[in-house]
Structure 1
Amino acid sequence: MKSKIDVFLRDRKTNMECFSHDRICPDVIDSDPLAILGITYENDLKIKPGKVVTPTQVQNEPTLIYDADPSSYYTLIMHDPDAPSRENNINGEWQHWLIGNIPGNRVKDGDVLSEYIGAGPPKDTGLHRYVFVVFKQDRKINFELPRLTCHTMKGRAKQKVRDICKKYHLTELVASNYFMAEWDEYVVQLYAKFR
């Protein structure tokens, strides 16, 4: 009979292999994360790396869990590198969520730079990858970025994780996770919110 630690290590290895298999590393990040970011949506929907979900299931902001130093600040980025499709990603990475200066793991207390927008892959574009990364900051940062509401698409296209990291000296990837989704009827409602 396997111990809990054996099962944990097996699951961790399987989870980490997903990042390379689905090309999160190297398409979005340079190396596999050290830890899996805990992501839970409504109805206790827990995200494991590579999980396929519907836009309906992920329309509202999730709860995130990661190990953090309570005296440090962190940046959260959620991007879709497959906009408008994986084969023709001319608008990728498309920014779905960006929060900086998160004290420890208190995401709600961070500076919201881009409000959360759930998965919205265009019809007939297949599965999109939605990648979450959390970086530790070396200090509190004055982010010189426009504040984007959940009602705007403007300013969200072509916002690469690597460019944000370079500009703000984010070098320590703390945790990451991702899901995949393709179009469902909710996407029509999502697009109707944009001005």
Structure 2
Amino acid sequence: MKSGLNSGNCLRGTIIPVVLNNPDRRHGHTLRGKPPGVARTLEQRLRDETASDPEVTARVNIGFPQLKGSRSEQLKNRLKHLKAQRSNKELEQLARSNKLLIDLDQVQEAYTKTTGQHDLRLLADHYGIYGDLFGSAYFVPRVPLQINYEQENVLSPVYNGNVIKPSEATKAPVVSFDGQLDPISGKQTSNSENYWTLLLTNPDAHYTNGAKECVHWFIGNIPNGHVSEGEVLVNYLPPFPPNGVGYQRMVFILYKQQSRLDLSAYQLATSDYANLEKRLFSTLDFYSQHQTNLTPAGLGFYQTNWDESLTGLYHDVLKLKEPIYEYDFPKPYLADQKFFPLKQPFNLYMDKHRDIKEVNKEYLQRKLAKTHPFDGPEQPLRYPNAHPIKGVPSWLKTEVRKQRLGMGRVQDY
């Protein structure tokens, strides 16, 4: 008796070998383990072995190690500090009378020296910074960065992923760090020639090549932490997130150099300041090329999104038409009209089948009719729900309540 297969005559129950184009997938799903009846190739077996090998899948720490004292010594110092605090009678009296003032600068300094930089590494992982810039590598910042944007006597510091608007970042920030700090021991060094490299890059800004970044600032060979004396290879370009793309990440990376380097290959001409194609950059390629002479030591980042100041930047500086990204919403599905729409507000049901421009015009006229040209709109009721609604049908009472409470679509007009 023939089976229902077209591959030839065979008895029912006979096993027919099937050759799959991709043995790892079946019906669109990835197979877990060895598929039955299909032999594994050598390449697939090697891939499975390396996928479970921790030496292959583990992330690589490319930063400086940290020298820590013994746990007994740390415990001894902690107990000594607690004993000194408890024996301070004046401190205890201030605490009992709720008059003890805590110096927040000292708290921030202690936090930075202890767990602050490790927390910054965790935050950078949360924002996907290491994966987008260094691939499978990461580093723990060892040199704290102080980054501040100054705009008309207003200071906008860069915290761990805070939001800074483009209007606040039109000028290059003031960056400072301890150039004599040893990233490994955390102590001051007597070396008079310490060179650093500072990079500001945006992994979300380049549109022609999504795998690349846009470099906004590049200063190399910074002597002993004096940023103003460094070699400016790429002049500062303010962030320019387009309207509609959401937030973009601006990342500062500080590298410790072994010695003075020749970075003239990254020099951007003054005439190419606004050429975004010339600002194409890859942090991973840059580090891979100079990893024997550079080690990442500091990190700082913030987020930014569109504001009105970018219109002038696009037109006057970048010489580009300002892009605007909008989501193209599909037209809502409207069923055939019914003579008696059950359980639906009558006015909202009718508005679904009207021209949206007519609805907008009606709401605008209704709003302007209650707005005085000099005094402005009418004052809202102090207790909206305390006033009874009379003389209107039940389906209209809901809309009147929403208007009184400032709710609903009427607020869009």
After TM superposition, the score normalised by the length of structure 1 is 0.86
* 1:80-122 Cα distance to aligned partner (Å, 9 max, x none): 001247xx97163111011111112111111111100111111
Please name the residue that 1:74 is paired with. Answer: 196
2:149 corresponding residue in structure 1: 41
Selected match of 1:61 from 156, 162, 172: 172
How many angstroms does 1:189 deviate by?
1.9
CA distance in 2, matches of 1:141, 1:84: 27
The corresponding residue for 1:50 is 161
How far apart, CA to CA, are the structure 1 residues paired with 2:304 and 2:205? Answer: 12
Does residue 134 in structure 1 map to residue 254 in structure 2? yes
Query: In 1, Cα distance between the equivalents of 2:111 and 2:141?
Result: 19
Is the helix fraction higher in 1 or 2?
2
Q: How does 1:148-187 map to 2 (within 5 A)?
A: 148-149=269-270, 150-157=273-280, 159-169=281-291, 170-187=293-310
Residue 124 of structure 1 aligns to a residue whose secondary structure is coil
Contact 2:179–2:226 (CA<8 Å) still a contact in 1? no
Q: Write the distance in 1 (CA, Å) between the matches of 2:274 and 2:204.
A: 21
CA displacement 1:148-180 (0-9 Å, x = unmatched)? 4443323112x1112112223353112110000
* 1:83 counterpart residue number: 205
Equivalent AA in structure 2 for residue 21 of structure 1: H
Deviation at 1:13, TM superposition (A): 4.7
The SS at the match of 2:168 is coil
Determine helix, strand or coil for the equivalent of 2:122.
helix
For 2:348, the equivalent position in structure 1 comes to: none
Contact in 1 for aligned 2:117/2:142 (Cα 8 Å): no
Q: Does 1:108 align with 2:219?
A: no
Structure 1 counterpart of 2:131: 26
Q: 1:92 to 1:126 in 2, by over 3 A?
A: farther
Unaligned 5+ segments in structure 1 are none
In structure 2, the gaps of 5 or more residues are 1-94, 96-101, 181-191, 320-413
Aligned equivalents of 1:186, 1:34: Cα separation in 2: 35
- Partner residue, 1:95: 215
Identity %: 26
Higher relative contact order, structure no. (Cα contacts within 8 Å, ≥ 6 residues apart): 1
CA distance in 1, matches of 2:157, 2:249: 16
> Which one-letter code corresponds to 2:123 in the other structure?
C
Aligned 8 A contact 1:34 1:174 in 2: yes
Paired positions, count? 192
Is the Cα contact below 8 Å between 1:112 and 1:147 reproduced in 2? Answer: no
2:214 touches 2:276 (CA, 8 Å); kept in 1? no
| Structure 2 residue identity aligned to 1:22 | Y
Asked whether the 8 Å contact 1:61–1:116 carries over to 2, the reply is yes
